Chains A and B, each alone.
Chain A
Amino acid sequence: MTAAAAPGVHAPASRAVRLRWALSDGVALVGRELSRIRQEPGELIAALIFPAIMVVLFGYVFGSAIAVPGGGNYREYLMPGLFAMVTFTSTMAVTLRVATDASRGVMDRFRSMPTARSAVPFGHTGADFLHGALGLAIMAAAGLLVGWRAHRGLWPTTEAFLLLGLMRYGLSWAGCYLGLVVKNEHTADNLIPLVFPVTMLSNSFVPTGGMPKVLQVIADWNPVSALTAACRELFGNPAAPTADAAWPIAHPVAASLGWSLLLLAVFAPLSARTYRKRGR
């Protein structure tokens, strides 16, 4: 009986095979996300239209009444803020996907299969990174349409997008961890609105200078602010004068890099461990 079933047995033979399988599993899981998008293009379009709507909404509705301190076009001021904001808000999508997998038993199926342990969180965050890249591209296109430009040339522009991508990847891991912890798509759904205020409490839409002192401190140390300020600097977009700014606002590129690496260092091992952990 045992021999008859043998053609099915796929147990890892060596370290090299194991590594190859881990990579192919990761690729298969990222591919899963692409297949899902193919099945439900509407969902993707909705997700991508959202940032474009934000550009119009904030750029023209609020922008019509807001003057940038120190001068400059508000839409030029706004775009780096929107890039940063979307980088943060869209992270909840990965939480939702991971939590759905966990609550529907899909995660358990993966766990009961010879699939590499590390591949599942890597697959989810990898897929989320692709979503993020696509979102940024749409956002940039919308920005270009409303008159936003990157003024400092190829390398600083690339640097800004790399910085956004890195932050997004770090946030993907944080989102993945949250999904593994809540394990319930409805809870995850309820968490989504909470991200919004966090992103608003920053320098994305207005300078922090006019905020009450407590909020100003929080806003200055909000990673969204660092990322926004870094983008403004690298794109050469107008920024409010930073005379006695907090450290992250004065050194936004370093601060963004630091936040991203911190997120990765904390949440990648946490996610991997939580996924791996058996015994529930």
Chain B
Amino acid sequence: MADEPIVVAEALRKRYGDTRALDGLDLAVPAGTVCGVLGPNGAGKTTAVRILATLADADSGTARIAGFEVARRPDQVRARIGLAGQHAAVDEKLTGRGNLRLFGRLYHLSRREARARADELLERFGLADAADRQVAGYSGGMRRRLDLVASLILRPQVLFLDEPTTGLDPRSRGEIWDAVRDLVAGGTTVVLTTQYLDEADRLADDIAVVDHGRVIATGTPDELKSSIGDRLDVVLDDPGAAGGAADVLHRLAGAYPTLEGGRLSVPLPAGSVRLADVVRELDRAGLAVADVALRRPTLDEVFLRLTGTPADDTTADTPAGTDGTGAEGSAAVRAKETVR
């Protein structure tokens, strides 16, 4: 098992009634890295984590953590993993310190070790001031942090984070991210499920995009972005000339651009077109350009392309061409449909 990835899933399948939650999911996470498992709601992310964390059995397929088969040696697996889920899975009636001591005892630390470890973790994750307050009085972010901390008591080799920042405000998200980065620096392997692409972009070394219970793409965030190419954005001085510009861009990029809020935008294979050529061609066509830029796609665009669903509700499709630039404008809008 010298070079086997620390987390391995092979052809995991799981049904709930008529729904196929997992449909042949494969995953391999090398030790010491962060794997972002990205997917829309209901893609099977949580089911995958539940199976890997010994909470559920797969119908078929195998999963191994640190070489131990999850279904056969759950006790060995449980001794090596930490799980922080979508809930803040702590006892609200106890204090923060009380929770960590209890979990320490349940991890079979001695009373003294459990105390020491609780104090150490509370200090390290900025919860020392609130340690002796009841968790019921904690903010959402503090609860999640306590939940995360509770999964670190044994210094797990693999930490599963199932949507650790869903529903948190930006500041609390930042705090969780810092904590995760800290852990990774200390050598912990992290499997992170998320619907937030910026979260995956910032934290993950590798990303597995999951849809309908299987992995449909893997790679580093950069590789995934490159796989769908760059985007060329053009804003004209005269929005009425969008039709002519669309033709020019079509000649250069091989596709008609979309028009959103006066911005023409067209995907390009990475490195296929130089910005200087774009400016020159537009100039030659007599089109005055207010702004032109080549940019890397966001992970949101990658996600949208791969799954056909927006990553979350806030990035839902905005109707194009709303500024109504006449016949030429609507040509570009039509073009958007052909691009898709």
A interface list, Cβ under 8 A from B: 1-2, 4-5, 7-12, 21, 24-25, 28-29, 31-32, 35-36, 39-40, 104-106, 108-115, 119, 278-280
Contact = CB atoms under 8 A, between A and B. Distances in A.
Nearest to A43: B93
B106 A25 contact: yes
A184 B107 CA distance: 26
B80 A5 contact: yes
A114 B94 contact: no
B130 interface: no
B83 A10 contact: no
B250 interface: no
A219 to B, nearest CB: 38
Interface string B99-130: 00011011111000000000000000000000
Contacts of B31: 1-2
A10 B78 CA distance: 9
Contact of A114 (B78, B89, B93): B78
Interface residues of B, number: 45
A108 B94 CA distance: 18
Contact of B106 (A11, A40, A115): A115
A225 B32 CA distance: 63
Given A10-B108, A36-B94, A111-B54, A28 B102 contact: yes
B79 A11 contact: yes
Contact of A1 (B56, B91, B93, B187): B187
B32 A1 contact: yes
B86 interface: yes
A21 B109 CA distance: 10
Contacts of A21: 108
Given A24-B108, A114-B78, A279-B57, A108 B156 contact: no
Nearest to A4: B187
B92 A104 contact: yes
Nearest to B91: A106
A25 B105 CA distance: 7
A105 B155 contact: no
B79 A9 contact: yes
B112 to A, nearest CB: 14
Interface string B64-75: 001000000001
Given A1-B6, A109-B83, A278 B105 contact: no
Contact of A108 (B57, B83, B103, B134): B83
Nearest to A1: B31
Question: Which of B32, B56, B79, B108 has most A Cβ within 10 Å?
Answer: B108
B302 interface: no
Interface in B136-184: 150-151, 154-157
B80 A113 contact: no
Contacts of A36: 91, 93-94
A2 B81 contact: no
24 contacts: A5-B155, A8-B79, A8-B80, A8-B155, A9-B79, A9-B154, A9-B157, A10-B108, A10-B109, A12-B75, A28-B106, A29-B102, A32-B91, A39-B95, A104-B88, A104-B92, A109-B85, A112-B55, A113-B103, A113-B106, A115-B106, A115-B107, A278-B54, A279-B57
Contacts of A4: 187
B203 interface: no
B58 to A, nearest CB: 9
B106 A9 contact: no
A39 B89 contact: no
Given A25-B108, A109-B151, 4 more contacts: A1-B6, A1-B31, A113-B103, A114-B75
A4 B32 CA distance: 11
A11 B66 CA distance: 13
Contacts of B187: 1, 4-5
A115 B87 CA distance: 20
Nearest to A111: B55
Contact of A278 (B55, B79, B103): B55
B53 interface: yes
Contact of A113 (B90, B107, B157): B107
A35 B103 contact: no
B19 interface: no
Question: Which of B75, B76, B91, B155 has most A Cβ within 10 Å?
Answer: B91
Nearest to A32: B102
A28 B105 contact: yes
Given A28-B105, A35-B102, A2 B6 contact: yes
A104 B94 contact: no
B265 interface: no
Question: Which of B32, B57, B79 has most A Cβ within 10 Å?
Answer: B79
Nearest to B156: A8
B98 interface: yes
Contacts of B57: 278-279
Nearest to B135: A39
B89 A106 contact: yes
A109 B89 contact: yes
Contact of A11 (B53, B55, B76, B188): B76
A110 B187 CA distance: 24
B189 interface: yes
Contact of B94 (A1, A10, A39): A39
B85 A105 contact: yes
Contacts of A9: 79-80, 154, 157
A105 B163 CA distance: 14
